[in-house]
Amino acid sequence: MSDAPFSFTVQHQQGRARAGELVTPHGRVATPVFMPVATQATVKALTPEEVLAAGAQMVLCNAYHLYLRPGVEMVARLGGLQQFMAWPRPILTDSGGFQAFSLGALRQVDEAGIRFRSHLDGSLHHFTPELATANQERLGADIIMCFDQCIGYGASKEEVRQAMERTHRWAQGCYDSHAASATAEQQALFGIVQGGTFPDLRAESAAAITSTPFSGYAIGGLAVGEDKAVMYEITQQVADLLPANRPRYLMGVGSPEDLVEGVAQGVDMFDCVLPTRVARNGALFTRRGRVDITARRFAEVTGPIEEGCDCYTCARFTTAYLWHLFRAKELLALRLASIHNLRFILRLMAEMRQAIVADRFEEFRRGFHDAYRPTDEAVRQAQKEKWLKARGG
């Protein structure tokens, strides 16, 4: 293994599925890995110790929100993100591009970057590739992301092309800025492939982004409203076009079925707010699918939400107690549900890694799909649209 501050090694492969290891200044990460989202330097409702106990190896923080509050310079003065949030493990930050873009009428995109008004106080800001990169460098993350132009699902091919080509130009600006920085050797910069759901644009974007020697490559612009079959098709296409010796990151994906399929297509890294977001709304993961803990049928169930689950919630509390907490609107409900869902996802990732190493991933994949019933597609799309509309807040 290299002694460099950042490196990646594929240790075993079965089909496209890969088991590997990331080396970062704040520790090693076994892949495939899911990163819980700590939007404002916290995974909502949980302490760092609880996130670690659930099995998290690294988390994602949101550069847009931290730029606005408490401010990048304040985080830097207080020792960087790890010290600020008491998280001893690796951190990845996004550039803030998606959040700025999602502000709708509050933002304007031009060649130089994105001008936007803060959703907090209406103040005017301008993110450029160079500023977005510098913000993440100052936050002190182990992995930072290029500034890209996100485009809404359903946009025309010409609109997607223009955003993609701008993303390519911005990526070069991010790379040049980071290469000249004092933290270049300590922080890994990932490029992002765009192109919507158009295979020819995805191929063009993958070629353009991989022509620059980023430390890793992300697949952006998916899980934003397209059918799952389309998402899986594009993910596989792009993953096949990315360098085998670099980590591959599918951004914003966190449904159990999507994680299994993403790993099957050769993806190494994932993040999503979904596990903790749905937990706070009473949706808990089980091997059979998501259940609504607020349903009356759980009122007198004396066992855990899932037999065999080793999370703190299932080890200590009955399903009936969780039902009661949610019905009574107790804060503990949000914490216990979040612990369970995070542990479910992180244990799923560990099991997939074990299956890859043992050359039984396809067997694991079939078994998972035989048992797990995903959320209805129409319901999922409606929930996604509602979330995207509220994303700027």
Task: Decide if 94 is catalytic.
Answer: yes
Helix, strand or coil, per DSSP, at residue 73 = helix
Going by C-alpha positions, the residue among 58, 22, 31 that lies closest to residue 43 is 58
Kindly name the residue from 3, 94, 176, 359 that is annotated as catalytic. Answer: 94
Strand partners, 23: 7, 28
Residue 145 — φ and ψ, nearest 5°? -115, 145
Query: Which residues does 213 contact at the CB level (< 8 Å), separation at least 6?
Result: none
| CA atoms of 146 and 178, how far apart (whole Å) | 10
* Cβ neighbours of 154 (radius 10 Å): 12
Per the structure block, which two tokens stand in for 128? 């450029």
| CA atoms of 151 and 160, how far apart (whole Å) | 6
* Cβ neighbours of 169 (radius 10 Å): 12
| CA atoms of 276 and 279, how far apart (whole Å) | 5
Structure-token match 């992002």, residue found:
192
Are 240 and 264 in contact by the 8 Å Cβ rule? The answer is: no
Per the structure block, which two tokens stand in for 160? 């997607």
Task: Decide if 258 is catalytic.
Answer: no
Q: How many DSSP H helices and E strands does the chain contain?
A: 16, 16
Going by C-alpha positions, the residue among 93, 96, 69 that lies closest to residue 81 is 93
| CA atoms of 353 and 20, how far apart (whole Å) | 9
Going by C-alpha positions, the residue among 364, 143, 378, 116 that lies closest to residue 261 is 364
| CA atoms of 5 and 264, how far apart (whole Å) | 28
Strands of the chain, DSSP E? 7-14, 17-24, 27-31, 33-38, 59-62, 91-94, 107-110, 113-117, 124-127, 143-145, 188-193, 216-219, 248-250, 269-272, 283-286, 289-292
| CA atoms of 339 and 311, how far apart (whole Å) | 7
Kindly name the residue from 142, 148, 268, 271 that is annotated as catalytic. Answer: 271
Which residues are the active-site residues? 94, 271
